[in-house]
Amino acid sequence: MNFANKRHIMFIIVGIITIILPFITTNDGAHMILLSFVTREFHFLGLVFTVQELHLMPFLIMFLFIGLFALTSLFGRVWCGWVCPQTILRYIFRDLIQTKLLSLRKNVNNKQKEPDYSKISNQIKYILSYVIFFAIACGVAVNFMLYFIPYDYFFAHILDYENHKTLIFFTALFIFIIMLLVVFLKEKFCIYACPYAKVQSVLYDKHTFTAVYDTIRGGDVYKDNKQVIFSKKEWTGKEECVACNKCVRVCPTGIDIRKGLQVECIECLECVDACDSVMGSMNKESLISWNSDSQINLKKKTNIIRAKSIAYFMVITAIIGLLTINSQNKENFQLNINRTSQLYSIKETSIQNAYIFLFHNTSNKTKEYYFKTSNPDIKINRPRKPFKIKAKSKLKEIVALEMDNTLIKNEKTLKINIIAYETNNKESEVIRKTIFILPEAK
């Protein structure tokens, strides 16, 4: 199977995952991944983190960045050529719609040749390609929004212009951005604007897998960055490159890989397939391959396990460890405890302290809560029974704790823990420290 087919399978897998991911929820209504601007929550793999619990975000961001750097250092810009939405959408717009569906472009193997727009038929096809892609851009923008707005909320309000102007504005803005990137900026975005391309040169070394031209077999087409060979006849030795330029014409970013590694290369490997078809017809191996410079041009084995990759592996393992530990510390609901302004109140047979408990049920179901104290001498006077809190709601509860006069000793302040829990899940404990104040001993 050539790289083009493998890439297209990858595009389908990435597309399906991206489309269905916002719709996958747990029984509690938690999403696989959602940074919700509606509920101000971050959902990750079925766990829900409120804004007060966003301590996981730095680890996740570090994981994504370092993971991408490690991937680039080992396998080059595979993200760009195989997974990046810009590449996938460019493929849909240029290769599928403009070339295969409308025959506006002659064939996918010549991406440099622009259609002849002086013909009316081509002008019509050109406009038609925009219209078709606009419909796709609308779908992509909606899908993108669903990573920030829960899908049920989004579909319930997207047509309510009067009350949800911001929602509609951002959806329209993303449609505009997608059209701008894919239809107008095209690969210029990958070459000039994408920050990832700029860091690529720092991440690569001679063992990094990338599209690489075999100068030993093919010959030096470039010298001092200038092309010196333009036709097969100009070779003086046994150089194999037939100077057909197929690898150049097929390149979406318009570079010549025979010049060596360039930041414009998005590693789509279309040039590998192109050269493979030329060399294959002569029963030879492709002069361009997905390999390392070390293996192809220095004839030294590629070192996958090298100092750089070990360092990345160690850092990523440490981040995953911290991420796992921190996500296990995640609490099932939230509880803030504040004392009222009154230090204590003296009752007939006891001393009472009053508190304000603020519960926040962060789940998608109504739940029943109650609590206990860590000190068996301190009893709950109010509330006497467990109480229910609706899904995604907060409840302020005035709490009175009391201590029998006969149990009071010399201490003026007792440190206690409040252990709150869901009544049908005793393991869902949330523990908060507070104090119980007593009058001065006489």
Binding site for ligand SF4 (CB under 6 A): 211, 218, 241-247, 250-253, 255, 257-258, 265-271, 274-275, 278, 287-288
Instruction: Please say whether the beta carbons of 339 and 354 come within 8 A.
Output: yes
Instruction: Please say whether the beta carbons of 219 and 258 come within 8 A.
Output: no
Closest approach of Cβ 311 to ligand SF4, in Å?
A: 27
Closest approach of Cβ 190 to ligand SF4, in Å?
A: 9
How is residue 329 annotated by DSSP?
T
Tell me the C-alpha distance between 163 and 274, whole Å: 54
Retrieve residue 63's tokens. Answer: 């994981």
Closest approach of Cβ 280 to ligand SF4, in Å?
A: 10
Closest approach of Cβ 429 to ligand SF4, in Å?
A: 55
Using the minimum distance from each CB to ligand SF4, give the nearer residue, 231 or 405.
231
Closest approach of Cβ 110 to ligand SF4, in Å?
A: 12
Closest approach of Cβ 330 to ligand SF4, in Å?
A: 43
Tell me the C-alpha distance between 301 and 292, whole Å: 9
Q: What is the CA radius of gyration of the chain?
A: 32
**Furthest C-alpha separation in the chain:** 111
Closest approach of Cβ 69 to ligand SF4, in Å?
A: 20
Tell me the C-alpha distance between 274 and 261, whole Å: 17
Instruction: Please say whether the beta carbons of 430 and 335 come within 8 A.
Output: yes
Closest approach of Cβ 219 to ligand SF4, in Å?
A: 9
Q: 280-288 long-range CB contacts below 8 Å, 24 or more apart?
A: 284/240, 287/213, 287/214, 287/217, 287/218, 287/240, 287/241, 288/211, 288/212, 288/213, 288/214, 288/247, 288/257, 288/258
Using the minimum distance from each CB to ligand SF4, give the nearer residue, 37 or 222.
222
Using DSSP, state whether 359 is helix, strand or coil.
strand
- A 10 A CB-CB count for 309 gives 15
Instruction: Please say whether the beta carbons of 377 and 403 come within 8 A.
Output: yes
Using the minimum distance from each CB to ligand SF4, give the nearer residue, 44 or 91.
91
Using the minimum distance from each CB to ligand SF4, give the nearer residue, 86 or 253.
253
Closest approach of Cβ 206 to ligand SF4, in Å?
A: 17
How big is the chain, counted in residues? Answer: 442
| Interaxial angle between packed helices 307-328 and 57-75, expressed in degrees from 0 to 180 and rounded to the nearest 10 | 160
Using the minimum distance from each CB to ligand SF4, give the nearer residue, 83 or 244.
244
Using the minimum distance from each CB to ligand SF4, give the nearer residue, 4 or 319.
4
Closest approach of Cβ 213 to ligand SF4, in Å?
A: 6
Using the minimum distance from each CB to ligand SF4, give the nearer residue, 247 or 418.
247
Using the minimum distance from each CB to ligand SF4, give the nearer residue, 70 or 263.
263
Using the minimum distance from each CB to ligand SF4, give the nearer residue, 271 or 418.
271
Q: Which residue has the tokens 């049908």?
A: 424
Sign of CA dihedral 16, 21, 26, 32: positive
Using the minimum distance from each CB to ligand SF4, give the nearer residue, 2 or 245.
245
